[in-house]
Structure 1
Amino acid sequence: MRKYLTILILLIISAGCTEQVKMDIAGVGESIPSGVSAITWDGKNLIVAKEGIIVFLDEIDTATAGSIIGYEGNYFFNNYPVTITSKENPPYITGIAWQQTSGNTGFIWVADAANKRILKITPQGEVIRKISLTSIYPEDIAFKENHLWIADSKRNKIYKVSTEDGSILSEYLSPVPIPTAITWDGKYLIIAGINFNKPSTSSDNVKIVKLDSITGKVVEEVLPSRYISYPAGMVWIDGRLWISDRNSGYIVTTSDRGIPSEDKNNYKLDIIPPTVKKIEIKEEKQKEEKDTEEAKKAAEEAKRAAEEAKRAAEAAKKAFELQQKK
């Protein structure tokens, strides 16, 4: 009974603390479709992306709850958009993450699902690194402590991978049936997604949890806003979650407060190093051995022939010498 009372109270609080922003973004001579698929935060700008375009927005209000409820308007670009290109498939950005460096600089990590790759780029769009993905579908990504965290909606898993070559360092079963958005709050990994892979406009289909990456256990369940029915991207900013919704085209900000989880499962999987199998090509080995044996026999036969020829020559010499004496 106490649990349900807590949920009811949090729902009331959540309803009063939710903001929604229609992302019809426009700038001088530039535009981007509404309904962004990925978002992140660089400490000043909300960075949003869709298809192959990345945009910096510098007039996002992160102040008190309710300050921009129902606001629909335009945000001006802080700088020109960054466009990702590819010689193969048209880029489809499903996730972006910010890597802070010294000062006010940093890099953007970009998940391009259409081309099965992750890019590390500068805010000006220069590609610093390319990582090919063969066994992971990057629905969304997050960055923490020089590692990338990837939500894979196809395999329903969460991966911690190397930023050098994309190798898998840790692997988790997703506590959310279909993970579609991921971020860090500084301590816990926040995972959002949907319960069923079918169209729905109800927040009942949405699940958001906080996962302890060390223990592999869910520590908290965050109540989703009623404005969210299909999370596409997510970022944590000063105690609030900013979530782009695929269905409505809105970015919704809501409190990250939730209730303690009753889920006792351990979602962290053991990484088994791949076994290197020694494969011997028997036919090649047998052929090599046969060739060696035949060469050996040929050498021995040649040696015997040479010895016989030597003996024959000596016999002929002796016969000639005896004939001369006569």
Structure 2
Amino acid sequence: MRRLFLAILIIFAIGCTQQVKTDIAGVGETFPTAPSAITWDGKNLIIAKEGIIVFLENIDTATAGSFIGYEGHYSLNNYPITITSKENPPYITGLAWQKTAYSGFIWAADAANKRLIKLTPQGETIKSIQLNKIYPEDMTFDGKYLWIADSKRGKVFKITTEDGSVIEEYLSPVSYPTALAWDGKYLIVAGIINPALPSDSSDNVKILRLDTVNGKVIEEISNSRYVTFPSAMVWIDGKLWISDRNSGYIVKISDWGSPSADEKIYKLATTPSIIKKIETKEEKKETEKDIQEAKKAAEEARKAAEEAKQAAEAAKKAFELQQKK
């Protein structure tokens, strides 16, 4: 009987979603529950809310719905990073990790001030990019470009890390996209199906895998009943870690699903702004070239006029000498 009970317990633990609750206090900062942004640097789960970024390591998740009430645990690594602003109080809605040869950088989307901030792990600001036409809901990095979900416009944008120029634009396959992740090949989009309905049911959440090359949804990932409002998401070794706004938990689920029957192409056939920007620069070069050529022609005309004037004066002197003779 005891062996049967243990076997059932193991099966129950394996089959259920895993999760960890993120209530943090006593480290010089108070971090509210339900992170609005998460990412992974290869060692730490980096989480954020409002203007605070915290590093978690040694994460031990618990089986969701466990009858023993265990919620898992984690350790804090590094001191929290605090983002400041002279305008609106910062509100971080997205985090992304840009790996480098020896370490990396953190990208933070500050929705309150419509900007992206590039930070060192120590909290030093490297760059700030203003987002004039994009409301950042969540963000991920594919190794070269940043991807941003815009819930207000129902779109997903691929932008450069240099100046935030839009490379590609997609309609979101979920009407209200709230979380993004990159699995190494595809973009995973999660969000709310119908924002008009109460956001307390997992049935109103959809998670899809999008092929960004052809713009089609290739797979629908099975959701957990513990995810009722995904606020952020990151892919780690075949698992999706999703921060749930309603419960305050970070929930870990498998990233596999079933093939999608959706044949719609979500990639928009628009001219990327980066091309427009290059064209604008080329036009500027052409204009400068025209100006330089006009200046050169004017200078040549001036020299010709000067030479003609000198020739006229020489002819006048020669005529005067002839008259004296």
TM-score range, shorter chain: 0.7 to 0.9
C-alpha deviation, 1:92, in angstroms: 0.3
Contact in 2 for aligned 1:111/1:117 (Cα 8 Å): yes
Indicate the percent of aligned positions where both proteins have the same amino acid: 66
Contact in 1 for aligned 2:105/2:120 (Cα 8 Å): yes
C-alpha deviation, 1:77, in angstroms: 1.6
State the one-letter code of the partner of 2:211: D
- Specify the alignment match of 1:322 in structure 2: none
C-alpha deviation, 1:74, in angstroms: 5.4
C-alpha deviation, 1:123, in angstroms: 0.5
C-alpha deviation, 1:26, in angstroms: 3.1
- Specify the alignment match of 2:70 in structure 1: 71
C-alpha deviation, 1:234, in angstroms: 0.2
- Specify the alignment match of 1:56 in structure 2: 55
| TM-score, with length taken from structure 1 | 0.76
Contact in 2 for aligned 1:194/1:230 (Cα 8 Å): yes
Alignment partner of 2:122: what SS? Answer: coil
C-alpha deviation, 1:14, in angstroms: 11
- Specify the alignment match of 2:244 in structure 1: 245
Give unpaired runs (5+ residues) of structure 2.
1-10, 284-325
Contact in 1 for aligned 2:98/2:141 (Cα 8 Å): yes
CA distance in 1, matches of 2:14, 2:111: 34
- Specify the alignment match of 2:154 in structure 1: 156
C-alpha deviation, 1:219, in angstroms: 0.5
Counting only pairs closer than 5 Å after superposition, residues 93-172 of structure 1 correspond to structure 2 as 93-103=92-102, 105-172=103-170
Alignment partner of 2:76: what SS? Answer: coil
Contact in 1 for aligned 2:16/2:64 (Cα 8 Å): no
Alignment partner of 1:71: what SS? Answer: coil
C-alpha deviation, 1:16, in angstroms: 1.8
Q: Flag the 1:67–1:136 CA change in 2: closer, same or farther, 3 A.
A: closer
- 1:101-148 deviation line (CA, Å, top 9, x unaligned): 013x10000000000000100001111011100100100000112210
Alignment partner of 1:31: what SS? Answer: coil
| TM-score, with length taken from structure 2 | 0.76
Q: Flag the 1:96–1:20 CA change in 2: closer, same or farther, 3 A.
A: same
- 1:184-229 deviation line (CA, Å, top 9, x unaligned): 1111100000011133211000000000010100010001100011
Q: Flag the 1:75–1:14 CA change in 2: closer, same or farther, 3 A.
A: closer
- Specify the alignment match of 2:80 in structure 1: 81
Aligned residues between the structures? 263
- Specify the alignment match of 2:45 in structure 1: 46
Counting only pairs closer than 5 Å after superposition, residues 245-284 of structure 1 correspond to structure 2 as 245-272=244-271
- Specify the alignment match of 1:197 in structure 2: 195
- Specify the alignment match of 1:208 in structure 2: 207
Contact in 2 for aligned 1:38/1:96 (Cα 8 Å): yes
- Specify the alignment match of 1:19 in structure 2: 18
Contact in 2 for aligned 1:178/1:197 (Cα 8 Å): yes
Q: Flag the 1:15–1:265 CA change in 2: closer, same or farther, 3 A.
A: farther
CA distance in 2, matches of 1:177, 1:15: 32
CA distance in 2, matches of 1:194, 1:177: 7
CA distance in 2, matches of 1:221, 1:205: 14
Aligned-residue Cα RMSD (Å) equals 2.3
State the one-letter code of the partner of 1:23: T
Q: Flag the 1:163–1:205 CA change in 2: closer, same or farther, 3 A.
A: same
CA distance in 2, matches of 1:35, 1:133: 25
- Specify the alignment match of 1:182 in structure 2: 180
| Greater Cα shift, 191-200 or 164-173 | 191-200
CA distance in 2, matches of 1:249, 1:222: 21
| Greater Cα shift, 143-152 or 88-97 | 143-152
- Specify the alignment match of 1:315 in structure 2: none
CA distance in 1, matches of 2:13, 2:146: 30
Give unpaired runs (5+ residues) of structure 1.
1-11, 279-326
State the one-letter code of the partner of 1:85: T
